[in-house]
Structure 1
């Protein structure tokens, strides 16, 4: 849409409020609302002011004023708010009118510009597949004298014997047997369909939905592939819809990667390909039907994967998902079909147009603008430097002897390790001024002080079971 078309839509649909949304540095959506009369064509140029000092990781109090600039192509009629149109915004400095370097959406935009400047490709397509949980209840707290969480779901295996939500329905999902069950065992079918249809009504191209492997309401809703920036915008819109549809039904949705111990966690499988002049660049006659350029892109992603994970797996909880035997990839290698590898070449992508790779490490707690941009920058570095991805992992990892499995590099085991990898390996992100030193330093500081240290300082409930009687 153009600004004029947005204003015409507002008149046609009798819109009364305009919700202006943007993503903060760690990856949470923020918003404020104006009456529709305050929006005109000039608003799309001049922007509107807000206090940047109240946003995590952004401005100091003495330089707090910032601008949100609405992006008309993101306009969406909000299905949950009366007479409201929502738009995603870019962030600018009100004095210089330059794009703000810590605005995640700006990082994604710069990554696309840099890609085109290299001459390697003109479009990077991302197809994102977020997994998430929908629970019936959640309670949690931590203070000086107690710390706990409590999750519950009518689907939870623990309710089979009549737990808190035990209903005698006898249709609970057995642990790790939640993939594709039929209703009534799949109690969330209608809710997921409502999410899918609502998303499509809002212009978000969802191509399917299903129950996932874990017990207690693990779901997946898949987005159609789109250029880098558009795919990140779509994921933000989808997460908003998922949370609000769940709330409408008295439930709660979470994109926390590993909310349930001893069961599968939630990933964000990332399908990725490069195109130029309307032609796919990953299709070829090599391993898995891939081109030499695609293999070099795989090499770049695998080489820089520990640093990428600081953005694509950005929480301390993310690394509880990387446990052998729970479908999350722990080996930094690639394979045709094998889902235990960090990068899979989908076997059903037989046509040249559908040839792509699937990076299986990211999780849905990530900031998609930063995660997508980091993956693209690593792939471009691999192509530029012709990085060899090594040999594929085509064997069943569960049958491999320890010494052979040990030959393959592993994902980091903690957020601290991933952040340290980013500290030591980020030159590839700085090219084209895509990620600046300020962005890298601020990310490392925020993750270390606000998350890694905060978790490290607090006693864990399991420590009481281990050590209370020491």
Structure 2
């Protein structure tokens, strides 16, 4: 839509409030709202001011003035708010220079798309993230100098099958790692997921499927139709917003935390991706392994080679590495294979249609900032193509069942956020190509994330008391 069309749509829909939204450096949606009377074509040209010093990873207090420029193509009537509200995603600009703000993650994504076209390799990249999440009935957590705890509960949790609280009919709970995917009454969240889907569609998102995931206690997945890079990152922000708010309004709490439950699957975000030139899928070749072209294989080579540093953006929390362990369908080994969910990169084989050929990168999780994570993946893949980086030979077997001596020879993902951050420090030249990422952004990211690691390392863990109290 053009600005004029957005304004007309707002009045046709009876909108009273316009919500201007943007993403901070770490990936959280921020917003402020204006009355619809302030929605004008001038707003789309000159923007609206805000305090950038109060946003994580943005400005210092002495340079705090920043501007949001709304993107009219993102305007949608919010399906969840009581007061009729139109949501518009914005880009961040510096009011002094009039230029896009270098630490705006959305700008990084846009630069990555521009760089792709400038290389001449492809005209567009398509992205299909599968963001998993848990839906709980209750979550409590706290930390102080003398205590620390978390407590999760779910009507679906198998641990509730033996409770003696006067609650009848405690059967039909999925056991650990058995939530994929029996029908109701074992799946108790069918209607709730369907309501989420209805709200996503109302928010302009094309939904392909929803289902229960492997984990007990309400693990879920809802898949969106593929889109170009920045557009999909925009949609993923709306996706998380709709999931959280629909659940909250129904008395549940949704979390995209990668590993909230010990002993069951974590929540990943497998990212399907492909490169196209006009209407030609560049990843397809009938002669290649699993139908892959040389270009696709080199793209995989770049992804696997740079995975340790990619994960500083794509698996960006200390909790991410509780998920990236063997035995829970999380990809620990940096290999690729067709149909193989134990490999870091899987080649889906559901269809023989050349247009469906793509790769699935399984290491990321939904705690990431999608603008930065997608951009980092694209830049790694393009580096692989430009330098014709060959990945290790594909392995069409369960990597978790290999003999110990074979496993030790496989390249593996980092085992901690600290390792990923160290990899990013030592391997980020591919991100700087085309000025897509800047050294300033990378240094700011490293500073923030190193502090998170330090804060975790300084605090006693509850399980340490179980292990060491009697030492």
Q: TM-score scaled by structure 1?
A: 0.99
Find out whether 1:62 has 2:62 as its counterpart. Answer: yes
| Aligned-partner SS, 2:437 | coil
After superposition, residues 112-131 of structure 1 pair within 5 angstroms as: 112-131=113-132
- Residue 283 of structure 1 corresponds to 284
- State the Cα deviation string for residues 358-408 of structure 1 (Å, max 9, x = none): 000000000000000000000000000000012012122233111112221
- Residue 446 of structure 2 corresponds to 444
After superposition, residues 58-97 of structure 1 pair within 5 angstroms as: 58-81=58-81, 82-97=83-98
Distance 2:445 2:363 in 1: 19
Report deviation, 1:164.
6.7
After superposition, residues 2-401 of structure 1 pair within 5 angstroms as: 2-81=2-81, 82-162=83-163, 167-284=168-285, 285-401=287-403
Q: Residues 429 and 165 from structure 1, CA distance in 2 versus in 1: closer, same or farther, beyond 3 angstroms?
A: farther
User: Does the 8 A contact of 2:160 with 2:170 survive in 1?
Assistant: no
| Aligned-partner SS, 2:394 | coil
Distance 2:385 2:415 in 1: 28
- State the Cα deviation string for residues 443-467 of structure 1 (Å, max 9, x = none): 0001001x10110111100011111
Report deviation, 1:174.
0.6
| Aligned-partner SS, 1:160 | helix
- Residue 461 of structure 1 corresponds to 462
| Number of residues of Structure 1 aligned to a counterpart in Structure 2 | 469
Report deviation, 1:165.
9.7
User: Does the 8 A contact of 1:128 with 1:224 survive in 2?
Assistant: no
| Aligned-partner SS, 1:219 | strand
Distance 1:432 1:414 in 2: 29
Distance 1:224 1:386 in 2: 30
| Aligned-partner SS, 2:210 | strand
| Aligned-partner SS, 1:42 | helix
| Aligned-partner SS, 1:168 | coil
Unpaired segments ≥5 residues, structure 2: none
Unpaired segments ≥5 residues, structure 1: none
Q: TM-score scaled by structure 2?
A: 0.98
User: Does the 8 A contact of 2:112 with 2:379 survive in 1?
Assistant: yes
Distance 1:255 1:128 in 2: 13
Report deviation, 1:14.
1.2
RMSD between superposed Cα atoms in Å:
1.0
